């Protein structure tokens, strides 16, 4: 991977609160008339950021926003939806998606959601920011009771990866616009190539929904007993990846995992299984009561 194509922006308790949302806010404010801003996100509670999107559209920026209509905490996005969908909002440039599911066997449920965090800008040069961050905090915060449930990303261990490769930015921008146009269709999500990786030579983008093996599990299969694997993962639930980490640790590989401090995202049984196999496992954020939302290997 060419380092010149990427820059990682971290957030966390050692950074100013709101550092990542401030980065998005400034890029948005700097986008001139005739430029474009294309976003898709899961939680969006930041009303000043939403108002800046509206202001950008008013000055002639082409704004495209795709937002999950019913996240896990169903009312979380309502205040921002009011800002963006009112008579002075974004109009048809806002797309609220509520994805249809499919019938599942008894005892199972598939509740698909828009869980991407992508923020693309045309100026000052084409750039896309790839989350784990999404703007889940508000200014001022008028519903603090929600933060323990969804995590305040303005203080969380978090990141935005800034991609400047023109081909990647164009691909991400096109993906967001296609979601805006067709994303609520079940047929769209299972069209030929919908879950196909985008291999750019220097980098690969993996999309969901997809058929076949999990890409993290596939990546881990490239390593053996001589490997050193370090992972930051806010959520660890994929059984195949856990099995592979256990097998790697037992084969002599050095495996380190940093995860979220709550048991909802990383069950205690997963922690016990990994540590029993020799994985160096640590939960982050409990001392300062901040979420850990990073995801990288």
pLDDT for 38-51, tens place per residue?
Answer: 999 999 999 999 99
Q: What's residue 102's pLDDT?
A: 60
The predicted pLDDT at position 249 comes to 94
- Asked if residue 247 has pLDDT above 70, the reply is yes
pLDDT score of 138: 92
pLDDT, average across residues 46-67: 98
Question: By C-alpha distance, which of 135, 31, 129, 131 is closest to 83?
Answer: 135
Domain 215-296 has CATH 3.40.50: yes
CATH number for the segment(s) 3-205: 3.30.870.10
187 has a pLDDT exceeding 80: no
More confident residue, 262 or 279: 279
The mean of the pLDDT values for the chain is 88
The pLDDT, as a whole number, for residue 4 is 65
- The pLDDT confidence band at residue 124, using thresholds 50, 70 and 90, is very high
Count CB neighbours of 221 within 10 A. Answer: 13
Do 139 and 45 touch, CB atoms closer than 8 A? no
pLDDT at 44: 97
Section 43-70 average pLDDT: 97
The confidence score (pLDDT) of residue 19 equals 97
The pLDDT value recorded for residue 45 is: 97
pLDDT at 146: 93
> Does residue 111 or residue 109 have the better pLDDT?
111
Q: What percent of the chain has pLDDT over 90?
A: 62
pTM to 2 decimals? 0.90
Question: Which of 150-154, 177-181, 235-239 holds the top average pLDDT?
Answer: 177-181
Rounded (5°) CA angle 190-191-197: 85
Q: What percent of the chain has pLDDT over 70?
A: 90
Answer whether 31's CB lies under 8 Å from 123's CB: yes
Residue 110's pLDDT is: 58
Q: Domain ranges in the chain?
A: 3-205, 215-296
Residues 129 and 120: their CA atoms lie apart, in Å, by 6
By the 8 A CB rule, do 207 and 196 touch?
A: yes
CB distance 42 to 70 below 8 Å:
no
């Amino acid at each position: 991977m060419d380092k010149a194509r990427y820059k990682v922006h971290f957030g966390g308790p050692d950074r100013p609160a709101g550092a990542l949302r401030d980065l998005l806010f400034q890029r948005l404010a700097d986008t001139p008339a005739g430029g474009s801003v294309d976003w898709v996100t899961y939680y969006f509670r930041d009303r000043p950021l939403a108002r800046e999107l509206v202001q950008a559209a008013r000055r002639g920026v082409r704004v495209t926003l795709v937002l999950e209509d019913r996240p896990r905490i169903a009312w979380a996005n309502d205040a921002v939806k009011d800002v963006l969908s009112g008579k002075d909002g974004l109009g048809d440039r806002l797309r609220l998606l509520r994805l249809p599911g499919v019938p599942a066997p008894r005892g199972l449920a598939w509740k698909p959601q828009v869980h991407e965090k992508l923020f693309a800008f045309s100026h000052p040069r084409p750039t896309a920011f790839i989350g784990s961050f999404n703007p889940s905090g508000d200014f001022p915060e008028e519903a603090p009771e929600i933060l323990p449930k969804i995590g305040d990303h303005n203080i969380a261990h978090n990141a935005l990866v800034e991609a400047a490769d023109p081909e990647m930015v164009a691909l991400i921008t096109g993906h967001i616009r296609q979601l805006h146009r067709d994303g609520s269709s079940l047929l769209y999500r299972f069209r030929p190539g919908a879950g196909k990786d985008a291999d750019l030579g220097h980098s690969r983008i993996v999309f969901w929904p997809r058929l076949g093996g999990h890409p993290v599990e596939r990546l881990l299969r490239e390593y053996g007993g001589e490997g050193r694997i370090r992972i930051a993962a806010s959520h660890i639930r994929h059984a195949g990846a856990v099995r592979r980490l256990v097998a790697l640790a037992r084969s002599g590989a050095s495996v380190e995992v940093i995860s979220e401090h709550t048991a909802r995202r990383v069950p205690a049984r997963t922690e016990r299984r990994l540590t029993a196999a020799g994985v160096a496992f640590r939960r982050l954020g409990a001392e300062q009561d901040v979420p850990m939302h990073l995801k990288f290997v």
